[in-house]
Structure 1
Amino acid sequence: MKIKCIAVDDEPLALELVAKFIDQTSFLSLEEKFDNAIQALGYLNQHDVDLVFLDIQMPDLSGMELARILDGKNSVKKPRIIFTTAYNQFAIEGYKVDALDYLLKPFSYEEFLKASTKAYQFFENFRNPNNEKKDPENQNDYIFLKVEYQLVKVMLKDITHVEAYKDYVKVHLLDKPNPLLSLTSMKNMEEILPKDKFMRIHRSFIINLEHIDSVSRNVVKIGNHQIAVSENYKEVFLEFMNKWMG
């Protein structure tokens, strides 16, 4: 699935950066880019677009004003919005126009990818209505990881554990001899992995709770891996174990 996008920003460098990030992301397609909201509105009136990466503070017509115009159309095909702005005071207004996300400048590709993945999941559910029947907390059963120069879709059920490795993380998978090496942080992985299925038990390890084979003396065994539960995470893990054992 490709998501048709436009980028709107009156700052040339910011506009080029968003365009570059879109080009780097396999499931996004950059249709056009605009340095003012009036031209963008004219384009949107004549073309089908799924997603708008939209700056807020622009002359003549602001990004928020454009968002209100689009939101007022009440069409199921209206484009969705991810705001890109240097000002955090517009966050509440962004929710009022049903924005998918809000990127605060300067943002990294990792932050951009996280917001874009949220959009991908939204459109996948929108185009496949049966997905909406799932529990909203658990309906996303995959994540995208940046591996070398591409994005790789990884099913959550296949992840056994995540291991810190310098500036990267190693994502260990079922039935795969070698882990995926992704340029991201353990903190980011902890945020994007669902907390009902994954738990951080060590500064360097996040485990998939469904793949625990055994626990003994604060050591978790997953397949051939033995992972220690560190003191900082022991209390939360023991609480989980007590619930697990009934």
Structure 2
Amino acid sequence: MPDNAPLRTLIVDDEPLAIERMQILCAEQEGITLVGTAADGAAALRMIESLGPDLVLLDIAMPELDGMAVAKTLGRQSGSSSPAIIFVTAFDSFAIEAFDLAAVDYLLKPVSADRLRRAVDRVAERRRIPSAEATAPEPVDEFWVPHRSELVRIAANDIERIDAERDYMRLHLGQRSYLLHQTIGALEARLDPTRFIRLHRSVIVRKDRIARLGHDKAGAWHAELVDGDQVRIGRTYLAHVKAMAGR
């Protein structure tokens, strides 16, 4: 896209009034051309594939495939043609996860024209700055983890489960565990997605450690691991987990 070309933008929100308001705001902005709207995550992915927008203004709370699941799907397909994502939501509790997913910005509803302008300028600036190769990084084979006065080599494929503990990640290997100072989003990006899956904002497990998936009467899903532990599946990760199971 030329530096001065408008950002071809897709709005994704399940509330018609929210879409209408965002359309009005976008019409007032220079540097934006609307290419369409979508009312759910599945439709958004289809439109992104067919229209190839530069920017997606993405709601989080949507039925079935929500905004986080859409962003994760796009992340697994990352490349030079992937759109920039600005989350637009009424919830402030997903900001850390959103930036872990490389969102350009995180806007809280109701969005002001000035706040949208700054977010769009940020997208345009990133487009102007030459980037490194946009291919997904190769998964790492090992981690060197401090333990007492040593550094311990841990093979990535030996890790069975990862639990977030504030600023540290606890890597579980059978009866042993080690602490690594890293965010869970950064650690997830270094793991092989064919072998590991995130179940919750604070839990990653190796896929072959999952014995079964289930839900309670209220519809809350969990994963039962081979050691008998149950891990609650976060709402934003449920679609991805079901996709792993072919559902």
TM-score in terms of structure 1 length: 0.50
Instruction: Work out whether 1:83 is the aligned partner of 2:82.
Output: no
| From 110, 117, 120, the counterpart of 1:116 | 120
| From 75, 96, 101, the counterpart of 2:100 | 96
- Residues 152-181 of structure 1 show CA distances to partners (whole Å, capped at 9, x for unaligned) of xxxxxxxxxxxxxxxxxxxxxxxxxxxxxx
Once residues 48 and 39 of structure 1 are traced to their aligned partners in structure 2, the CA distance between those partners, rounded to angstroms, is: 13
| From 49, 54, 74, the counterpart of 1:50 | 54
SS for the counterpart of 1:89 is coil
Higher relative contact order (CA 8 A, sep 6+): 2
Once residues 111 and 119 of structure 1 are traced to their aligned partners in structure 2, the CA distance between those partners, rounded to angstroms, is: 13
CA drift of 1:2 comes to 1.0
Once residues 112 and 91 of structure 2 are traced to their aligned partners in structure 1, the CA distance between those partners, rounded to angstroms, is: 16
CA drift of 1:47 comes to 2.2
What is the aligned partner in structure 2 of residue 40 from structure 1? 44
CA drift of 1:25 comes to 1.1
CA drift of 1:75 comes to 1.0
CA drift of 1:74 comes to 2.2
What is the aligned partner in structure 2 of residue 26 from structure 1? 30
Once residues 50 and 27 of structure 1 are traced to their aligned partners in structure 2, the CA distance between those partners, rounded to angstroms, is: 11
SS for the counterpart of 1:22 is helix
Once residues 100 and 8 of structure 2 are traced to their aligned partners in structure 1, the CA distance between those partners, rounded to angstroms, is: 23
Unaligned runs of 5+ in 2: 133-247
Instruction: Work out whether 1:3 is the aligned partner of 2:30.
Output: no
Give matches, 1:155-170, under 5 Å.
Answer: none
CA drift of 1:60 comes to 1.0
TM-score in terms of structure 2 length: 0.50
CA drift of 1:126 comes to 4.1
- Residues 93-150 of structure 1 show CA distances to partners (whole Å, capped at 9, x for unaligned) of 10111000000111211111111111111112248x9xxxxxxxxxxxxxxxxxxxxx
Larger radius of gyration between Structure 1 and Structure 2 = 1
SS for the counterpart of 1:66 is helix
What is the aligned partner in structure 2 of residue 125 from structure 1? 129
CA contact (8 A) 2:56 2:85 kept: yes
- Residues 51-76 of structure 1 show CA distances to partners (whole Å, capped at 9, x for unaligned) of 00000000011001000000111212
Once residues 35 and 25 of structure 1 are traced to their aligned partners in structure 2, the CA distance between those partners, rounded to angstroms, is: 22
CA contact (8 A) 2:35 2:51 kept: no
- Residues 10-41 of structure 1 show CA distances to partners (whole Å, capped at 9, x for unaligned) of 11111111111111112011000111111111
Aligned residue pairs, count: 128
The one-letter code sitting in structure 2 at the alignment partner of 1:75 is G
Once residues 60 and 126 of structure 1 are traced to their aligned partners in structure 2, the CA distance between those partners, rounded to angstroms, is: 36
SS for the counterpart of 1:29 is strand
CA contact (8 A) 2:41 2:70 kept: yes
Once residues 74 and 7 of structure 1 are traced to their aligned partners in structure 2, the CA distance between those partners, rounded to angstroms, is: 20
What RMSD over aligned residues (CA atoms) do the two structures have, in Å?
1.4
SS for the counterpart of 2:36 is strand
Structure 1 residues 126 and 25: alpha-carbon distance in aligned structure 2, compared to 1, 3 A threshold:
farther
